[in-house]
Amino acid sequence: MATAKSDALVLFGVTGDLAHKMIFPALYALTKKGALDMPVIGVAFPKWSRERLRKRATDSIEKSGGASDRRALKELLSRLEYVSGDYKDPATYTAIKTALSGAKRPAHYLAIPPSLFGTVIEGLGAAGLAKNARVIVEKPFGRDLASARELNAVAHKVFPEESIFRIDHYLGKEAIMNILYFRFANSFLEPIWNRNYIESVQITMAEDFGVGKRGAFYETAGCLRDVIENHLFQVVALLAMEPPSGQHFHAVHEEKARIFKAMRPLKPAEMVRGQYDGYRKEPDVARNSDVETYCAVRLMIDSWRWEGVPWYLRSGKYLKTTATEVLLELKAPPQKLFDDSEPAHGRTNYVRFRISPDSALALAARVKVPGQEYIGKQEELFLCEELAGAEPPYERLLGDAMAGQSALFTREDAVEAAWAVVDPVLKHHPRVRRYRRGSWGPKSADALIAPDSRWHDPAPEPEK
């Protein structure tokens, strides 16, 4: 069962935005590659017809880049079935069983609000739909440590851990996977990848737009839960983990989990919360909302390799640009042989990863400028990767889940360990500070990082 391919996909929440924006295009891409040869049963509450679902899927695919392969589109549409029903009603699961028509190894994808995860998992178990099956769960997996533990307990009553696939689409990005490869495929990094040579690390995930129609969701989540605790923690784990003991994905999971467990629980003084001007006027947002649309934290990892090295993470809506970058700043040379080897203004040497919107890697080094005096300047050795043809995250993750490949999914202990880091500040935290749209967030975030560095602001996407 561990490696047997699923023979049907049950998609809960098939009429929702996630299915329209991401899942249908991924299913179409898998069909084009010949990797989707199974029935797809959509499940949702609205009383749609099968034909309406097919029109919805067609619209999704055409808006995401077009249906250039009409044969693949026709094949995907022919596989779509629809079950309308309440997730709390046992009759819904009876109808799903009928629609599966003898499939032995279904994969159940929960593209639904997190509050319904437990309900659907229990419904699948009661209906006998969990035997030899997999369940694919969208983030967030819980909203704090207690709820994550509760949800894990519910899931394990029905599914074994190896059959639970917790999706964080960030892990399916090519640039994120490249961090792991770059770290352990190159021998020159290991001698300097530690507290002796790295001064600080910072990760910025910026977006130049607001919450849009997701006001209701953001009111229940906020930036800390939505981005920091999952996406950025995953990047930290890849950067900070020890070398895995082997090529098997269990070894990678083990080392990542150890990093989450070594993270020091956050304190209110180690975070800044911000809210962009006008957020409280967005649809479905409380008039007196204290929910953060920006969050910056100072994180410490209590391990031999990283003792004393601060990790600064920040993310926000309506910032100056849309980009995600990592900056690992190196310590200055131990002896000041040249007057400008430790610049009073500017940075020491660094390694920079650009994760989005394009993928790039840069190493910054000082070089002498022409002349008699030993004066230099810092230059970047810059490599920008062309990712044409790379699998989009949902295509990769859906294909892996249905094939039983767990490498890019999150394990139970890692989920709970990550929540344990942020749990102390979910309720006890500083109030939000307002910030101007198009800025880099509240000024107090500069004071947070000031003892060790200053923020690196990602440049806008280069014009093409």
CA 83 – CA 9 distance, rounded (Å): 13
Residue 71 Ramachandran class (φ > 0 left, ψ -120 to 50 alpha, else beta):
alpha
CA 376 – CA 369 distance, rounded (Å): 5
Take residue 57 and report the two structure tokens written for it. Answer: 């899927």
CB neighbourhood size of 165 (10 A): 24
Contacts of residue 196, defined as CB under 8 A and 6 or more positions apart, other chains included, come to: 331
**Three state DSSP letters for 236-289:** HHHHHCCCCCCCCHHHHHHHHHHHHHHECCCCHHHEEEEEECCHHHCCCCCCCC
* Three-state DSSP class for residue 294: strand
Burial of 142 from C-beta contacts in 10 A (0-12 / 13-18 / 19+)? buried
CA 144 – CA 225 distance, rounded (Å): 8
The one catalytic residue among 108, 169, 231, 429: 231
Question: Is beta strand 310-316 parallel, antiparallel or unpaired with respect to 294-300?
Answer: antiparallel
Question: Is beta strand 40-44 parallel, antiparallel or unpaired with respect to 80-84?
Answer: parallel
- For the question of residue 231 being annotated catalytic, the response is yes
The terminus-to-terminus CA distance of the chain in angstroms comes to 47
Take residue 32 and report the two structure tokens written for it. Answer: 């084009």
Please give the helix or strand (H or E) that residue 460 lies within, else none.
Answer: none
CA 18 – CA 4 distance, rounded (Å): 27
Take residue 72 and report the two structure tokens written for it. Answer: 């693949």
Strand partners of residue 299: 311
Residue positions annotated with a catalytic role: 231
